[in-house]
Amino acid sequence: MSEPTFSVITPSYRQARWLRLCAASVADQGVEVEHIVQDNLSGPEVTEALAPFPHAKLAAEKDGGMYDAINRGWEKAGGEILAWLNCDEQYLPGTLEAVAGHFRNHPETDILFADAVVVDEGGNYLCSRQVLPPWLEHTWICHLQTLSCATFFRRQLIRERSFWLDPRWRVAGDADLIIRMLRAGVRVDVLRRYASVFLDNGGNLGLSPRAVEERDALAGEAPRWMQALRPWWVAQHRLRRLGHGLYGPRPFGYDIYTEASPQKRVHFDVPRPTFYWQSRMK
């Protein structure tokens, strides 16, 4: 694979407000990328939001939820590297070029995880989400500490090894997918850079009571011995984070599109970053 090409899937349903910013962040990556917006018949506002972005392919059809929509997009995808980016998420500048370089230089890597920035509706900084290569036990019993907006897969994992998302989950499908991949022994790696922004607008499904219920249900499917050792997995994860210096993120800056500036990225400085994520669920 000399020059990886990307297929980015965006599941869409009545989020044109954010979709135009998401599409802009994919369009300016400077690499070959196929952006498939898999929309659940939202209406003409989606077409209008994507009008400035001829690279984006709109697939408007009824789906069975977010994970079914992503699967449908992946079935259409032609890129060597697959990812999904929700409507209210964005890639930071240079993300896909850096991801492509990592996959070129590390042919053994099957899945690549990167760091993300959590912001509010105005694009203002809330916290940093720096990640570690996930361990099966911690992911299954505790939580998935990576974000889907900063996760990238080699195409053969999905198209040849059939690691599709399971639509029976409404919120925890990404955790279920990673657990199945880890159990199968796929090779994971981390790209230590901020790749994406995740919007915490107070209504995210991933931060909702439904998400807690599904995470508990997923943990309940783990072997009993693994469940009994939950305090151990938590302690090990915290020690790993401490050892990698992730409890003290360094000052940085990021550039994103905002509703006030949909055509030009706006710069935000973060002189005092924090790892602590205080949920804004309404």
When pLDDT is averaged across residues 267-273 and rounded to a whole number, the result is 97
Output 233-236 pairs: Cβ under 8 A, ≥24 positions apart: 233/135, 233/137, 233/138, 233/141, 233/142, 234/138, 234/142, 236/135, 236/138
Strand partners, 266: 256
Q: Please give the pLDDT value at position 278.
A: 77
Q: Is the pLDDT score of 282 beyond 50?
A: no
Q: Encode pLDDT of 19-53 as tens digits.
A: 999 999 999 999 999 999 999 999 999 999 999 99
Q: Is the pLDDT score of 113 beyond 50?
A: yes
Eight-state DSSP code of residue 3: S
Strand partners, 194: 115
Q: Is the pLDDT score of 279 beyond 80?
A: no
Amino acid occupying residue 228: A
**Span of 110-124, 154-168, 198-212, 249-263 with lowest mean pLDDT:** 198-212
When pLDDT is averaged across residues 143-164 and rounded to a whole number, the result is 94
Q: Encode pLDDT of 119-136 as tens digits.
A: 999 999 999 999 999 999
Q: Is the pLDDT score of 236 beyond 80?
A: yes
**Span of 60-64, 252-256, 274-278 with lowest mean pLDDT:** 274-278
Eight-state DSSP code of residue 32: -
Q: Please give the pLDDT value at position 4.
A: 59
Q: Please give the pLDDT value at position 201.
A: 84
Strand partners, 119: 125, 199
Q: Please give the pLDDT value at position 2.
A: 46
Q: Is the pLDDT score of 194 beyond 60?
A: yes
When pLDDT is averaged across residues 147-176 and rounded to a whole number, the result is 94
When pLDDT is averaged across residues 158-170 and rounded to a whole number, the result is 92
Residue 68: how many CB atoms within 10 A of its CB? 19
Question: Rounded to two decimals, what is the model's pTM?
Answer: 0.94
Mean pLDDT of the chain: 94
Distance, in Å, from the CA atom of 80 to the CA atom of 18, rounded to the nearest integer, reads 27
Q: Is the pLDDT score of 159 beyond 90?
A: no
Consecutive H or E run containing 262: strand 261-270
